[in-house]
Amino acid sequence: MRQGPAPSETPGSPGGGRLPRDHTQAILETTKHVAALLKTTGKPFALAGSVAAFAHGLPARFQHDTDFCVRPEDSGVVIEALEEGGIAMRRAPEDWLVKGRSGGEEIDLIFELARRPVSTELLARAEVRPVDSVWMPVLAPTDLMDARLTALCEHYCDFGDLLPMARMLREQIDWDRMNREHRDAPLSDAFLYLLERLHVVDFDRREDAS
């Protein structure tokens, strides 16, 4: 006698069950839905975070949400578009983002990246790439790395995710810019030093004679 549903089934579903929910695909579906809604606004935007890294060729190692950058001045228009598209939006404790939820997945609408307001120039550097067959603007690799290095702190200092990103996107990242902007921050500088020791990049760290 059968005692319960098979591992691939969900209790109470028609015909005995359905396959477990694929979280990776669920995030991709949410990402595509949000991008389609943002396109209708005519406002510039760009995919960010781990899904953006995936769009540039990294393996899918998604975190708990999908992230999009928009300019602060466009916040009202884009929030309204997402709400009209069926996405529940809510204020976050942080004043630089708004959160949403769709299909069980979290969405971060980001107005500030790397401690700077999202700008027209930042979004203009985005590259249009396919994300699970849907084309959308994706933050440039240098800007993705800049944001990740800026986020390093005593409470979050995980080089495990940063190292594969640096290896796979090293030809697309402006490392001289990263060296200039992050060498005075201890944690970021430690990661850049690690990249040197692993021969991922080669910096000229000599100070000017002056």
Res 209: pLDDT: 40
Domain membership of residue 210 (yes or no) is no
Residue that finishes a domain, picked among 97, 114, 139: 139
Instruction: Give dist(CA 10, CA 4) in Å, integer.
Output: 10
Per the domain annotation, does 49 fall within a domain? yes
Whether residue 7 lies inside any domain: the answer is no
Residue 12 belongs to some domain of the structure:
no
Torsion of CA 86, 97, 185, 139, to 10 degrees: 40
Q: Which residues of the chain have pLDDT under 50?
A: 1-17, 19-20, 206, 208-210
User: Where do we find the tokens 């939820």?
Assistant: 101
- Assess if residue 192 is contained within a domain: yes
User: In CATH, what number is assigned to the domain containing residue 82?
Assistant: 3.30.460.40
Same domain, 26 and 119: yes
Are 46 and 146 in contact, with CB atoms under 8 Å apart?
A: no
Total domains, the chain: 2
Same-domain pairing of 51 and 108: yes
Asked if residue 77 lies in contact with residue 40, where contact means CB atoms within 8 angstroms, the answer is: no
Same domain (yes/no): 133, 159 = no
Are 146 and 134 in a shared domain? Answer: no
Partners of 91 in the beta sheet?
98
| Whether 98 and 33 share a structural domain | yes
- Kindly state whether residues 43 and 122 are assigned to the same domain: yes
Q: Would you state the structure tokens that stand for residue 86, as one six-digit string?
A: 């069926």
The DSSP 8-state label assigned to residue 173 in this structure reads S
Q: What is the predicted pLDDT for the residue at 21? A: 60
State the pLDDT at residue 92.
83
User: Where is the domain boundary, 139, 163, 188?
Assistant: 139
The answer to whether residues 31 and 113 belong to one domain is yes
Distances from the Cα of 209 to the Cα of 27, 160, 206, angstroms = 51, 36, 9
For residue 13, being part of any structural domain is answered with no
pLDDT in the model for residue 128: 98
DSSP for 70-97, written as a single string = E-GGGHHHHHHHHHHTTPEEEE-SSTTE
Q: Residue 188 belongs to what domain range?
A: 141-205
Same domain, 84 and 158: no
Identify the CA nearest to 156 among candidates 40, 60, 63, 55.
63
Phi, psi of 179 (to 5 degrees): -65, -45
Same domain, yes or no, for 28 and 123? Answer: yes
Let me know whether 149 and 120 are in one domain.
no
In a domain? residue 43: yes
Both 26 and 101 in one domain: the answer is: yes
For residue 162, what are the contacts with CB-CB under 8 A and spacing of at least 6?
145, 148, 149, 191
Q: Are residues 131 and 196 in the same domain?
A: no
